[in-house]
A = this chain, B = another copy of it.
Amino acid sequence: MARPPASPRAIAVARGDEPADLLIAGGRVFSPATREWVETSLAVADGVVAGWGERDARETVDVGGSALTPAFVDAHMHLESTKLWIDEFVRTVLPHGTTAVAADPHEIANVLGVPGIAALAEAAAPLPFTFGVYASSCVPASPFESAGASLDAGDVLDLIERHGALGVAEVMNFPGVIGGDPEMLARISAAGHRRVDGHSPGVAGRALDAYLAAGAESDHETTRLEDAHERRQKGMWLFIRQGSASQNLNELIPDVVEHGPELAAFCTDDREPDTLLRLGHVNDCARLAVAAGVPEVDALLLASTNAARYHGFHHLGSLGPGHQADVLCFDELASWRPARVWQAGRPVAEDGKILPGAVPEAPIPELMRGTVRLGTPPPAERLALNHPDGARVRAVGVESRSLTTLHREVTLGEPGADAAHAAVVERHRETGRIGLGYATGFGLRRGAMASTVAHDAHNCVTVGARADGGPEDMAVAVARLAELGGGQVAVLDGRVLAEVPLPLAGLMSDRAAAEVAAQIRELNRAAADALGVTVEEPLMQLSFLALSVIPELRLTDGGLVDVGEFAYVPVEV
Protein backbone atom coordinates (compact mmCIF):
# COMPACT_ATOMS: atom_id res chain seq x y z
CA MET A 1 0.00 0.00 0.00
CA ALA A 2 1.57 3.27 -1.11
CA ARG A 3 2.53 5.84 1.40
CA PRO A 4 0.47 9.00 1.08
CA PRO A 5 2.26 11.55 -1.12
CA ALA A 6 4.54 13.72 0.95
CA SER A 7 2.89 16.97 1.97
CA PRO A 8 5.01 20.08 1.47
CA ARG A 9 3.32 21.55 4.52
CA ALA A 10 4.28 18.57 6.70
CA ILE A 11 7.86 19.03 5.53
CA ALA A 12 7.67 22.71 6.46
CA VAL A 13 6.28 21.76 9.87
CA ALA A 14 9.16 19.31 10.29
CA ARG A 15 11.62 22.09 9.56
CA GLY A 16 9.86 24.33 12.06
CA ASP A 17 8.78 26.83 9.43
CA GLU A 18 5.04 26.37 9.86
CA PRO A 19 2.87 25.49 12.86
CA ALA A 20 1.75 21.91 13.23
CA ASP A 21 -1.93 20.97 13.20
CA LEU A 22 -1.45 19.17 16.46
CA LEU A 23 1.33 18.70 18.96
CA ILE A 24 0.98 15.62 21.14
CA ALA A 25 3.28 16.74 23.91
CA GLY A 26 4.76 15.12 26.96
CA GLY A 27 4.52 11.49 25.92
CA ARG A 28 6.87 8.55 25.84
CA VAL A 29 7.01 7.43 22.21
CA PHE A 30 7.59 3.77 21.40
CA SER A 31 10.44 3.15 18.96
CA PRO A 32 9.95 -0.30 17.42
CA ALA A 33 13.45 -0.73 16.00
CA THR A 34 15.37 0.21 19.12
CA ARG A 35 12.69 -1.03 21.54
CA GLU A 36 12.95 2.19 23.51
CA TRP A 37 10.51 4.69 24.94
CA VAL A 38 11.60 8.15 23.83
CA GLU A 39 10.46 11.20 25.76
CA THR A 40 9.46 13.57 23.02
CA SER A 41 6.53 15.32 21.39
CA LEU A 42 4.88 14.39 18.12
CA ALA A 43 4.17 17.21 15.69
CA VAL A 44 1.35 16.22 13.35
CA ALA A 45 0.54 17.89 10.03
CA ASP A 46 -1.68 16.79 7.16
CA GLY A 47 -2.26 13.46 8.84
CA VAL A 48 1.35 12.42 9.28
CA VAL A 49 3.91 12.63 12.05
CA ALA A 50 5.93 15.53 10.69
CA GLY A 51 8.54 15.63 13.42
CA TRP A 52 9.66 14.76 16.90
CA GLY A 53 10.21 17.42 19.53
CA GLU A 54 8.82 20.86 20.20
CA ARG A 55 7.10 22.75 17.39
CA ASP A 56 4.60 25.56 17.21
CA ALA A 57 1.14 24.10 16.80
CA ARG A 58 -2.47 25.17 16.35
CA GLU A 59 -3.45 22.74 19.06
CA THR A 60 -1.41 21.10 21.77
CA VAL A 61 -2.49 18.05 23.74
CA ASP A 62 -0.37 17.32 26.76
CA VAL A 63 -0.54 13.62 27.54
CA GLY A 64 1.38 13.93 30.80
CA GLY A 65 3.86 11.09 30.51
CA SER A 66 1.52 8.65 28.80
CA ALA A 67 2.79 5.93 26.50
CA LEU A 68 2.34 6.70 22.79
CA THR A 69 2.38 3.78 20.40
CA PRO A 70 1.60 3.19 16.75
CA ALA A 71 -1.97 1.97 16.32
CA PHE A 72 -2.78 -1.70 15.98
CA VAL A 73 -3.10 -3.78 12.84
CA ASP A 74 -5.10 -6.99 12.50
CA ALA A 75 -2.97 -9.27 10.34
CA HIS A 76 -5.91 -11.32 9.08
CA MET A 77 -9.66 -11.03 9.52
CA HIS A 78 -12.98 -11.32 7.81
CA LEU A 79 -15.21 -8.31 8.15
CA GLU A 80 -18.21 -10.52 7.53
CA SER A 81 -17.55 -12.50 10.72
CA THR A 82 -18.16 -9.39 12.78
CA LYS A 83 -21.63 -9.29 11.20
CA LEU A 84 -21.18 -5.51 11.02
CA TRP A 85 -21.21 -3.28 8.02
CA ILE A 86 -17.84 -1.62 7.45
CA ASP A 87 -18.60 1.75 9.05
CA GLU A 88 -19.96 0.13 12.20
CA PHE A 89 -16.99 -2.23 12.35
CA VAL A 90 -14.64 0.75 12.19
CA ARG A 91 -16.61 2.51 14.94
CA THR A 92 -16.27 -0.62 17.04
CA VAL A 93 -12.54 -1.28 16.73
CA LEU A 94 -11.10 2.25 16.63
CA PRO A 95 -11.74 2.70 20.39
CA HIS A 96 -9.66 -0.44 20.95
CA GLY A 97 -6.78 1.07 19.00
CA THR A 98 -7.06 -0.79 15.70
CA THR A 99 -6.73 1.49 12.68
CA ALA A 100 -5.87 -1.07 10.04
CA VAL A 101 -6.77 -4.59 9.04
CA ALA A 102 -5.87 -6.99 6.30
CA ALA A 103 -9.23 -8.37 5.29
CA ASP A 104 -10.07 -11.37 3.23
CA PRO A 105 -13.59 -10.64 1.95
CA HIS A 106 -14.13 -14.20 0.96
CA GLU A 107 -17.56 -14.55 2.54
CA ILE A 108 -18.81 -11.69 0.39
CA ALA A 109 -16.87 -13.21 -2.49
CA ASN A 110 -18.70 -16.50 -2.05
CA VAL A 111 -22.01 -14.72 -2.26
CA LEU A 112 -21.32 -11.88 -4.70
CA GLY A 113 -17.96 -12.52 -6.41
CA VAL A 114 -15.66 -9.79 -7.68
CA PRO A 115 -18.41 -7.11 -7.80
CA GLY A 116 -19.05 -7.70 -4.09
CA ILE A 117 -15.40 -7.28 -3.18
CA ALA A 118 -15.07 -4.20 -5.35
CA ALA A 119 -18.17 -2.68 -3.75
CA LEU A 120 -16.78 -3.35 -0.26
CA ALA A 121 -13.40 -1.82 -1.08
CA GLU A 122 -15.11 1.21 -2.53
CA ALA A 123 -17.37 1.62 0.49
CA ALA A 124 -14.39 1.37 2.84
CA ALA A 125 -12.18 3.88 1.04
CA PRO A 126 -13.59 7.10 2.57
CA LEU A 127 -13.46 5.80 6.15
CA PRO A 128 -10.78 6.86 8.66
CA PHE A 129 -9.20 3.44 8.53
CA THR A 130 -6.73 1.41 6.49
CA PHE A 131 -8.88 -1.37 5.14
CA GLY A 132 -6.49 -3.60 3.20
CA VAL A 133 -8.38 -6.01 0.98
CA TYR A 134 -6.89 -9.27 -0.23
CA ALA A 135 -8.03 -11.23 -3.25
CA SER A 136 -9.99 -14.24 -2.10
CA SER A 137 -8.29 -17.27 -3.58
CA CYS A 138 -10.60 -20.16 -2.82
CA VAL A 139 -14.10 -19.32 -3.92
CA PRO A 140 -15.71 -21.72 -3.62
CA ALA A 141 -13.60 -23.17 -0.85
CA SER A 142 -13.87 -26.64 -2.29
CA PRO A 143 -15.70 -28.45 -5.04
CA PHE A 144 -18.08 -29.72 -2.36
CA GLU A 145 -19.81 -26.38 -1.85
CA SER A 146 -22.16 -24.44 -4.12
CA ALA A 147 -21.29 -20.81 -3.65
CA GLY A 148 -22.95 -17.79 -5.21
CA ALA A 149 -19.86 -17.05 -7.26
CA SER A 150 -16.57 -18.58 -8.18
CA LEU A 151 -13.25 -16.83 -8.66
CA ASP A 152 -10.48 -18.17 -10.85
CA ALA A 153 -6.90 -17.04 -11.33
CA GLY A 154 -8.05 -14.34 -13.74
CA ASP A 155 -10.40 -12.91 -11.13
CA VAL A 156 -7.62 -12.93 -8.53
CA LEU A 157 -5.39 -11.02 -10.92
CA ASP A 158 -8.22 -8.62 -11.70
CA LEU A 159 -8.74 -7.91 -7.99
CA ILE A 160 -5.03 -7.19 -7.57
CA GLU A 161 -4.54 -5.12 -10.68
CA ARG A 162 -7.85 -3.24 -10.90
CA HIS A 163 -9.31 -3.22 -7.42
CA GLY A 164 -6.22 -2.61 -5.29
CA ALA A 165 -6.07 -5.99 -3.57
CA LEU A 166 -2.86 -6.33 -1.57
CA GLY A 167 -2.16 -9.92 -2.48
CA VAL A 168 -3.69 -13.36 -2.53
CA ALA A 169 -5.85 -14.17 0.48
CA GLU A 170 -5.64 -17.35 2.50
CA VAL A 171 -5.12 -20.24 0.13
CA MET A 172 -7.45 -22.65 1.88
CA ASN A 173 -7.25 -25.38 -0.65
CA PHE A 174 -3.96 -26.53 0.82
CA PRO A 175 -4.43 -30.10 -0.38
CA GLY A 176 -4.73 -28.74 -3.91
CA VAL A 177 -1.65 -26.56 -3.52
CA ILE A 178 0.42 -29.33 -1.96
CA GLY A 179 -0.72 -31.64 -4.73
CA GLY A 180 0.46 -29.12 -7.34
CA ASP A 181 -2.96 -28.27 -8.77
CA PRO A 182 -2.24 -25.92 -11.73
CA GLU A 183 -5.24 -23.67 -11.13
CA MET A 184 -4.22 -23.12 -7.49
CA LEU A 185 -0.62 -22.40 -8.55
CA ALA A 186 -1.93 -19.93 -11.12
CA ARG A 187 -3.90 -18.10 -8.44
CA ILE A 188 -0.79 -17.91 -6.26
CA SER A 189 1.31 -16.69 -9.12
CA ALA A 190 -1.20 -13.88 -9.72
CA ALA A 191 0.28 -12.32 -6.58
CA GLY A 192 3.49 -11.38 -8.41
CA HIS A 193 5.66 -9.70 -5.78
CA ARG A 194 2.70 -9.29 -3.46
CA ARG A 195 1.83 -11.42 -0.47
CA VAL A 196 0.33 -14.87 -0.49
CA ASP A 197 -1.52 -15.67 2.72
CA GLY A 198 -1.65 -19.30 3.71
CA HIS A 199 -4.15 -21.48 5.53
CA SER A 200 -2.60 -24.74 6.63
CA PRO A 201 -4.19 -26.23 9.76
CA GLY A 202 -2.13 -29.13 11.05
CA VAL A 203 0.12 -29.14 7.98
CA ALA A 204 3.69 -30.03 8.96
CA GLY A 205 6.89 -31.58 7.69
CA ARG A 206 7.01 -32.43 3.99
CA ALA A 207 3.48 -31.19 3.36
CA LEU A 208 4.36 -27.84 4.91
CA ASP A 209 7.51 -27.69 2.79
CA ALA A 210 5.39 -28.27 -0.31
CA TYR A 211 2.96 -25.57 0.72
CA LEU A 212 5.83 -23.13 1.28
CA ALA A 213 7.54 -24.14 -1.94
CA ALA A 214 4.31 -23.24 -3.70
CA GLY A 215 4.55 -19.70 -2.33
CA ALA A 216 2.43 -19.48 0.83
CA GLU A 217 3.95 -16.98 3.24
CA SER A 218 1.81 -16.93 6.37
CA ASP A 219 -0.50 -19.13 8.39
CA HIS A 220 -3.23 -18.14 10.81
CA GLU A 221 -4.62 -21.65 11.28
CA THR A 222 -1.83 -22.89 13.49
CA THR A 223 -3.14 -24.51 16.65
CA ARG A 224 -0.14 -26.45 18.01
CA LEU A 225 2.99 -25.03 19.56
CA GLU A 226 5.32 -27.30 17.60
CA ASP A 227 3.65 -26.25 14.35
CA ALA A 228 4.11 -22.61 15.29
CA HIS A 229 7.80 -23.13 15.83
CA GLU A 230 8.26 -25.08 12.62
CA ARG A 231 6.55 -22.33 10.64
CA ARG A 232 8.80 -19.56 11.92
CA GLN A 233 11.90 -21.74 11.64
CA LYS A 234 11.10 -22.26 7.98
CA GLY A 235 10.52 -18.58 7.35
CA MET A 236 6.72 -18.61 7.37
CA TRP A 237 4.84 -15.85 9.15
CA LEU A 238 2.84 -16.96 12.14
CA PHE A 239 -0.42 -15.08 12.62
CA ILE A 240 -1.48 -15.93 16.14
CA ARG A 241 -5.24 -16.13 16.06
CA GLN A 242 -7.55 -15.17 18.85
CA GLY A 243 -11.04 -15.22 17.41
CA SER A 244 -14.39 -15.69 19.05
CA ALA A 245 -14.41 -19.43 18.40
CA SER A 246 -10.79 -20.27 17.56
CA GLN A 247 -8.56 -19.14 20.37
CA ASN A 248 -5.00 -20.20 19.74
CA LEU A 249 -3.02 -17.53 21.53
CA ASN A 250 -2.31 -19.25 24.79
CA GLU A 251 -1.19 -22.40 23.03
CA LEU A 252 1.15 -20.65 20.58
CA ILE A 253 2.50 -17.71 22.53
CA PRO A 254 5.27 -19.67 24.32
CA ASP A 255 7.12 -19.74 21.00
CA VAL A 256 7.24 -15.94 21.03
CA VAL A 257 8.28 -15.91 24.69
CA GLU A 258 11.13 -18.28 23.90
CA HIS A 259 12.21 -17.20 20.40
CA GLY A 260 11.24 -13.57 20.13
CA PRO A 261 8.79 -11.61 17.99
CA GLU A 262 10.13 -12.10 14.45
CA LEU A 263 7.65 -13.25 11.78
CA ALA A 264 4.79 -13.15 14.26
CA ALA A 265 1.68 -11.00 14.42
CA PHE A 266 -1.78 -11.12 15.94
CA CYS A 267 -4.96 -11.75 14.05
CA THR A 268 -8.60 -12.17 14.99
CA ASP A 269 -9.81 -14.02 11.87
CA ASP A 270 -13.42 -14.33 13.01
CA ARG A 271 -14.62 -12.15 15.88
CA GLU A 272 -18.23 -11.66 16.83
CA PRO A 273 -19.53 -8.20 17.74
CA ASP A 274 -20.05 -9.20 21.35
CA THR A 275 -16.41 -10.26 21.62
CA LEU A 276 -15.34 -6.98 20.04
CA LEU A 277 -17.42 -4.92 22.44
CA ARG A 278 -16.61 -6.93 25.54
CA LEU A 279 -12.96 -8.00 25.10
CA GLY A 280 -11.70 -5.76 22.35
CA HIS A 281 -9.75 -6.50 19.24
CA VAL A 282 -5.99 -6.64 18.65
CA ASN A 283 -5.50 -4.99 22.05
CA ASP A 284 -7.09 -8.08 23.57
CA CYS A 285 -4.44 -10.23 21.87
CA ALA A 286 -1.66 -8.01 23.21
CA ARG A 287 -3.11 -8.15 26.71
CA LEU A 288 -3.23 -11.94 26.66
CA ALA A 289 0.29 -12.18 25.25
CA VAL A 290 1.74 -10.02 28.00
CA ALA A 291 -0.17 -12.02 30.58
CA ALA A 292 1.49 -15.11 29.12
CA GLY A 293 4.96 -13.67 29.51
CA VAL A 294 5.64 -11.70 26.33
CA PRO A 295 7.48 -8.43 27.05
CA GLU A 296 5.31 -5.37 26.41
CA VAL A 297 7.57 -4.12 23.63
CA ASP A 298 7.35 -7.44 21.83
CA ALA A 299 3.57 -7.43 22.18
CA LEU A 300 3.56 -4.01 20.50
CA LEU A 301 5.61 -5.38 17.63
CA LEU A 302 3.15 -8.24 17.11
CA ALA A 303 0.17 -5.92 17.47
CA SER A 304 1.40 -3.21 15.14
CA THR A 305 4.83 -3.05 13.55
CA ASN A 306 5.13 -6.64 12.37
CA ALA A 307 1.66 -6.82 10.89
CA ALA A 308 2.21 -3.48 9.12
CA ARG A 309 5.49 -4.76 7.75
CA TYR A 310 4.07 -8.02 6.45
CA HIS A 311 1.24 -6.31 4.64
CA GLY A 312 3.33 -3.49 3.21
CA PHE A 313 1.48 -0.85 5.22
CA HIS A 314 4.59 1.29 4.98
CA HIS A 315 2.74 4.23 6.44
CA LEU A 316 1.84 2.40 9.66
CA GLY A 317 3.55 0.49 12.47
CA SER A 318 5.84 3.30 13.58
CA LEU A 319 5.52 6.84 14.87
CA GLY A 320 8.69 7.96 13.10
CA PRO A 321 8.42 11.13 11.01
CA GLY A 322 6.75 10.43 7.67
CA HIS A 323 4.43 7.76 9.07
CA GLN A 324 0.70 8.29 9.24
CA ALA A 325 -0.30 9.71 12.61
CA ASP A 326 -2.24 6.68 13.79
CA VAL A 327 -1.40 7.18 17.45
CA LEU A 328 -2.55 5.45 20.61
CA CYS A 329 -2.18 7.11 23.98
CA PHE A 330 -2.19 4.83 27.03
CA ASP A 331 -2.38 6.16 30.58
CA GLU A 332 -1.28 2.67 31.57
CA LEU A 333 0.01 0.50 28.77
CA ALA A 334 -0.73 -2.54 30.95
CA SER A 335 -4.45 -1.86 30.56
CA TRP A 336 -4.17 -2.19 26.76
CA ARG A 337 -7.09 0.23 26.62
CA PRO A 338 -6.08 3.43 24.82
CA ALA A 339 -7.24 6.60 26.52
CA ARG A 340 -7.10 8.37 23.16
CA VAL A 341 -6.86 7.29 19.56
CA TRP A 342 -5.84 9.47 16.64
CA GLN A 343 -6.22 8.24 13.09
CA ALA A 344 -4.27 10.18 10.45
CA GLY A 345 -3.88 12.89 13.06
CA ARG A 346 -7.58 13.25 13.84
CA PRO A 347 -8.97 12.25 17.23
CA VAL A 348 -11.40 9.36 16.70
CA ALA A 349 -11.86 7.76 20.12
CA GLU A 350 -11.45 8.51 23.81
CA ASP A 351 -11.75 6.29 26.85
CA GLY A 352 -13.07 3.38 24.85
CA LYS A 353 -15.76 5.43 23.05
CA ILE A 354 -15.85 6.48 19.44
CA LEU A 355 -16.07 10.27 19.09
CA PRO A 356 -19.31 11.55 17.56
CA GLY A 357 -18.93 12.13 13.83
CA ALA A 358 -15.52 10.50 13.68
CA VAL A 359 -16.70 7.81 11.27
CA PRO A 360 -19.06 8.82 8.45
CA GLU A 361 -21.78 6.51 7.26
CA ALA A 362 -20.67 4.15 4.48
CA PRO A 363 -23.57 3.79 2.06
CA ILE A 364 -24.60 0.16 1.59
CA PRO A 365 -24.22 -0.98 -2.01
CA GLU A 366 -27.54 -2.18 -3.39
CA LEU A 367 -26.09 -5.51 -4.60
CA MET A 368 -25.55 -6.54 -0.96
CA ARG A 369 -29.31 -6.95 -0.44
CA GLY A 370 -31.72 -9.62 -1.60
CA THR A 371 -29.18 -12.40 -1.89
CA VAL A 372 -31.13 -15.24 -0.24
CA ARG A 373 -32.87 -16.91 -3.13
CA LEU A 374 -34.74 -20.07 -2.19
CA GLY A 375 -37.82 -19.92 -4.37
CA THR A 376 -40.45 -21.79 -2.34
CA PRO A 377 -38.76 -22.70 0.94
CA PRO A 378 -38.41 -26.46 1.43
CA PRO A 379 -40.95 -28.33 3.53
CA ALA A 380 -40.00 -30.29 6.66
CA GLU A 381 -39.79 -33.64 4.89
CA ARG A 382 -37.03 -32.35 2.61
CA LEU A 383 -34.89 -31.21 5.57
CA ALA A 384 -34.49 -34.41 7.60
CA LEU A 385 -33.46 -38.00 7.00
CA ASN A 386 -35.74 -40.60 8.47
CA HIS A 387 -33.35 -43.15 9.99
CA PRO A 388 -34.92 -45.01 12.89
CA ASP A 389 -33.41 -45.26 16.33
CA GLY A 390 -30.60 -47.79 16.34
CA ALA A 391 -29.25 -46.77 12.95
CA ARG A 392 -25.47 -46.23 12.92
CA VAL A 393 -24.61 -42.92 11.22
CA ARG A 394 -21.80 -40.49 10.73
CA ALA A 395 -22.38 -37.16 12.49
CA VAL A 396 -20.56 -33.87 12.37
CA GLY A 397 -19.28 -33.40 15.91
CA VAL A 398 -19.03 -29.88 17.27
CA GLU A 399 -17.12 -28.76 20.37
CA SER A 400 -16.98 -25.51 22.27
CA ARG A 401 -14.10 -23.22 21.39
CA SER A 402 -12.99 -25.12 18.31
CA LEU A 403 -13.73 -24.82 14.63
CA THR A 404 -12.40 -28.28 13.99
CA THR A 405 -15.30 -30.70 13.82
CA LEU A 406 -15.05 -34.33 14.77
CA HIS A 407 -15.85 -37.23 12.51
CA ARG A 408 -18.23 -39.00 14.91
CA GLU A 409 -20.14 -42.17 14.45
CA VAL A 410 -23.22 -42.46 16.61
CA THR A 411 -26.10 -44.85 17.09
CA LEU A 412 -29.31 -42.89 16.80
CA GLY A 413 -31.40 -42.89 19.94
CA GLU A 414 -28.64 -44.13 22.23
CA PRO A 415 -27.98 -42.13 25.38
CA GLY A 416 -25.26 -39.59 24.65
CA ALA A 417 -25.65 -39.83 20.88
CA ASP A 418 -26.97 -36.28 20.92
CA ALA A 419 -27.80 -36.47 17.23
CA ALA A 420 -29.69 -33.67 15.54
CA HIS A 421 -30.98 -33.42 12.00
CA ALA A 422 -28.76 -31.22 9.85
CA ALA A 423 -29.45 -29.79 6.42
CA VAL A 424 -27.72 -27.36 4.08
CA VAL A 425 -30.02 -25.67 1.56
CA GLU A 426 -28.48 -24.05 -1.52
CA ARG A 427 -29.60 -20.41 -1.43
CA HIS A 428 -27.89 -18.54 -4.24
CA ARG A 429 -29.55 -19.87 -7.36
CA GLU A 430 -32.80 -21.52 -6.29
CA THR A 431 -31.45 -24.92 -7.31
CA GLY A 432 -33.39 -26.66 -4.56
CA ARG A 433 -30.28 -28.71 -3.75
CA ILE A 434 -30.19 -29.85 -0.14
CA GLY A 435 -27.54 -31.84 1.68
CA LEU A 436 -28.77 -33.93 4.60
CA GLY A 437 -27.08 -35.55 7.58
CA TYR A 438 -26.63 -35.41 11.32
CA ALA A 439 -24.78 -33.25 13.80
CA THR A 440 -23.78 -34.09 17.33
CA GLY A 441 -22.49 -32.02 20.21
CA PHE A 442 -25.07 -29.23 20.06
CA GLY A 443 -27.20 -30.70 22.85
CA LEU A 444 -30.25 -29.65 20.84
CA ARG A 445 -33.32 -31.26 22.42
CA ARG A 446 -36.20 -29.51 20.66
CA GLY A 447 -36.87 -26.96 17.92
CA ALA A 448 -34.39 -25.79 15.31
CA MET A 449 -31.77 -23.21 14.42
CA ALA A 450 -30.77 -21.92 11.01
CA SER A 451 -28.21 -19.56 9.52
CA THR A 452 -27.32 -18.08 6.14
CA VAL A 453 -23.87 -17.50 7.55
CA ALA A 454 -22.46 -20.90 6.66
CA HIS A 455 -18.81 -20.88 5.76
CA ASP A 456 -17.74 -20.68 3.08
CA ALA A 457 -20.49 -21.01 0.50
CA HIS A 458 -23.01 -19.41 2.85
CA ASN A 459 -25.89 -21.57 1.95
CA CYS A 460 -28.67 -21.94 4.47
CA VAL A 461 -27.63 -24.35 7.20
CA THR A 462 -30.09 -25.67 9.74
CA VAL A 463 -30.14 -28.17 12.57
CA GLY A 464 -33.28 -29.51 14.17
CA ALA A 465 -34.12 -31.83 17.03
CA ARG A 466 -34.85 -35.49 16.25
CA ALA A 467 -37.80 -35.01 18.61
CA ASP A 468 -41.27 -34.44 17.17
CA GLY A 469 -41.60 -31.11 15.42
CA GLY A 470 -37.88 -30.68 14.86
CA PRO A 471 -38.00 -30.92 11.04
CA GLU A 472 -41.06 -28.67 10.98
CA ASP A 473 -39.19 -26.05 12.99
CA MET A 474 -36.26 -26.37 10.57
CA ALA A 475 -38.65 -25.52 7.74
CA VAL A 476 -39.98 -22.49 9.63
CA ALA A 477 -36.45 -21.34 10.38
CA VAL A 478 -35.33 -21.60 6.75
CA ALA A 479 -38.46 -19.80 5.54
CA ARG A 480 -37.88 -17.02 8.04
CA LEU A 481 -34.34 -16.47 6.77
CA ALA A 482 -35.65 -16.23 3.22
CA GLU A 483 -38.06 -13.56 4.45
CA LEU A 484 -35.31 -11.61 6.23
CA GLY A 485 -32.92 -11.82 3.29
CA GLY A 486 -30.50 -13.67 5.55
CA GLY A 487 -29.67 -14.03 9.19
CA GLN A 488 -29.74 -16.47 12.05
CA VAL A 489 -32.77 -17.75 13.87
CA ALA A 490 -34.03 -20.09 16.59
CA VAL A 491 -37.50 -21.66 16.24
CA LEU A 492 -39.61 -23.73 18.59
CA ASP A 493 -43.06 -25.11 17.92
CA GLY A 494 -43.34 -23.14 14.71
CA ARG A 495 -42.56 -19.84 16.40
CA VAL A 496 -39.45 -17.66 15.97
CA LEU A 497 -37.89 -17.34 19.44
CA ALA A 498 -35.08 -14.99 18.49
CA GLU A 499 -33.31 -13.85 15.38
CA VAL A 500 -30.41 -11.85 14.02
CA PRO A 501 -31.39 -10.28 10.70
CA LEU A 502 -28.38 -10.15 8.36
CA PRO A 503 -29.78 -8.62 5.19
CA LEU A 504 -26.39 -7.70 3.68
CA ALA A 505 -25.31 -10.66 1.57
CA GLY A 506 -27.01 -12.80 4.20
CA LEU A 507 -23.91 -12.17 6.29
CA MET A 508 -23.99 -8.72 7.81
CA SER A 509 -26.39 -6.53 9.70
CA ASP A 510 -27.20 -2.94 8.91
CA ARG A 511 -27.57 -2.13 12.61
CA ALA A 512 -25.27 -0.86 15.34
CA ALA A 513 -22.76 -3.20 16.95
CA ALA A 514 -24.41 -3.13 20.37
CA GLU A 515 -27.79 -4.01 18.88
CA VAL A 516 -26.33 -6.84 16.82
CA ALA A 517 -24.44 -8.14 19.84
CA ALA A 518 -27.64 -8.07 21.89
CA GLN A 519 -29.53 -9.93 19.16
CA ILE A 520 -26.83 -12.59 19.04
CA ARG A 521 -26.75 -12.91 22.82
CA GLU A 522 -30.51 -13.30 22.93
CA LEU A 523 -30.44 -15.83 20.12
CA ASN A 524 -27.76 -17.89 21.84
CA ARG A 525 -29.66 -17.63 25.11
CA ALA A 526 -32.86 -18.77 23.41
CA ALA A 527 -31.00 -21.70 21.91
CA ALA A 528 -29.67 -22.68 25.30
CA ASP A 529 -32.74 -21.99 27.40
CA ALA A 530 -35.53 -23.00 25.05
CA LEU A 531 -33.87 -25.57 22.78
CA GLY A 532 -31.56 -27.16 25.33
CA VAL A 533 -28.38 -26.37 23.37
CA THR A 534 -25.23 -26.93 25.45
CA VAL A 535 -22.37 -26.06 23.11
CA GLU A 536 -20.95 -22.54 23.51
CA GLU A 537 -21.70 -20.00 20.77
CA PRO A 538 -24.12 -22.41 19.06
CA LEU A 539 -24.90 -20.13 16.11
CA MET A 540 -21.20 -19.70 15.35
CA GLN A 541 -20.80 -23.48 15.56
CA LEU A 542 -23.72 -23.83 13.19
CA SER A 543 -22.15 -21.37 10.78
CA PHE A 544 -19.01 -23.50 10.51
CA LEU A 545 -20.81 -26.83 10.10
CA ALA A 546 -20.49 -26.66 6.31
CA LEU A 547 -16.86 -25.50 6.04
CA SER A 548 -15.40 -28.26 3.90
CA VAL A 549 -11.74 -27.24 4.19
CA ILE A 550 -11.22 -27.68 7.93
CA PRO A 551 -11.16 -31.17 9.44
CA GLU A 552 -12.77 -33.51 10.04
CA LEU A 553 -16.36 -34.01 8.84
CA ARG A 554 -18.65 -31.41 7.23
CA LEU A 555 -22.10 -31.18 5.70
CA THR A 556 -22.58 -29.13 2.52
CA ASP A 557 -25.49 -28.78 0.13
CA GLY A 558 -23.81 -31.61 -1.77
CA GLY A 559 -23.74 -34.00 1.15
CA LEU A 560 -21.44 -35.23 3.91
CA VAL A 561 -17.72 -34.50 3.33
CA ASP A 562 -14.73 -36.18 4.93
CA VAL A 563 -12.20 -33.35 4.82
CA GLY A 564 -9.17 -35.59 5.39
CA GLU A 565 -10.20 -37.79 2.46
CA PHE A 566 -11.43 -34.71 0.56
CA ALA A 567 -14.40 -36.80 -0.59
CA TYR A 568 -18.10 -37.30 0.03
CA VAL A 569 -18.92 -40.06 2.45
CA PRO A 570 -22.28 -41.73 3.10
CA VAL A 571 -24.31 -40.85 6.16
CA GLU A 572 -24.80 -44.47 7.08
CA VAL A 573 -21.78 -46.27 8.47
* A interface, CB within 8 angstroms of B: 1-3, 5-8, 10-16, 31-36, 38, 43, 48-53, 177-178, 180, 182, 185, 188-189, 192-193, 205-210, 212-217, 229, 232-236, 259-260, 262-263, 312, 314, 318-323
Please tell me if the beta carbons of A53 and B206 are within 8 angstroms of each other in the complex: yes
Q: How far is the CA of A258 from the CA of B242 in the complex (A)?
A: 34
Tell me whether A215 and B6 are in contact in the complex, defined as CB-CB below 8 angstroms, given that A12-B180, A178-B15, A233-B31 are known contacts.
yes
Given contacts A34-B229, A209-B52, A320-B234, contact A6 B189 (CB under 8 A): yes
Contact indicator B234/A321 (Cβ below 8 Å): yes
B213 touches A35 (CB 8 A): no
A214 and B33 within 8 A (CB): no
Residues of B with C-beta under 8 A to A3: 193, 215
The listed residue (B15, B188, B217, B319) touching A207 by CB distance below 8 A is: B15
CB distance from A324 to the nearest CB of B (A): 11
Chain A to chain B: the 3 pairs with minimum beta-carbon distance, closest first: A235-B320, A51-B209, A14-B210
CA distance A209 to B232 in the complex (A): 35
Say yes or no: B8 contacts A235, CB within 8 Å.
no
Looking at the assembled complex, report how far the CB atom of A260 sits from the nearest CB atom of chain B, in whole angstroms: 7
A322 to B235, CA, bound (A): 9
By the criterion CB–CB under 8 Å, are B11 and A206 in contact?
no
Q: A208-B321, A235-B319 are in contact. List 10 more A-B contacts (CB 8 A).
A: A2-B193, A15-B209, A33-B233, A33-B262, A34-B229, A36-B259, A209-B321, A212-B321, A213-B322, A214-B322
A233 to B319, CA, bound (A): 9
- The CA of A48 and the CA of B235, in the complex, are separated in Å by 14
Chain B residue contacts of A33, Cβ below 8 A: 232-233, 235, 259-260, 262-263
Number of copies of chain A assembled together: 2
Q: How far is the CB of A207 from chain B (nearest CB, A)?
A: 7
Given the complex, which residues of B lie within 8 Å of A206, measured CB to CB?
A: 14-16, 51, 53
Chain B contacts for A232, CB-based, 8 A: 31, 33-34
Which residues on the B side are within 8 Å of A260 (C-beta)?
33-35
Show 29 A/B contacts (Cβ-Cβ < 8 Å), sorted by A.
Answer: A1-B193, A2-B193, A5-B185, A6-B188, A6-B213, A8-B182, A8-B185, A11-B177, A11-B214, A12-B180, A15-B207, A31-B232, A31-B235, A33-B232, A34-B232, A34-B233, A34-B259, A34-B260, A34-B262, A35-B260, A36-B259, A50-B210, A50-B213, A53-B206, A209-B321, A210-B321, A212-B321, A235-B320, A235-B321
Q: State A314–B235 Cα separation when bound (angstroms).
A: 11
Could you say which residues of chain B place their CB within 8 Å of the CB of A322? 212-216, 235
Q: Which one of A11, A51, A217 has the greatest number of beta carbons of chain B within 10 Å? A: A11
Residue among B7, B14, B318 making CB contact with A209, cutoff 8 Å: B14
Find the residue from A205, A232, A312, A322 having the highest chain B CB count within 10 A: A322
Q: Is B209 touching A6 in the complex (CB atoms < 8 A)? A: no
A233 to B213, CA, bound (A): 36
Q: Identify A320's interface contact among B7, B16, B35, B236, CB under 8 A.
A: B236
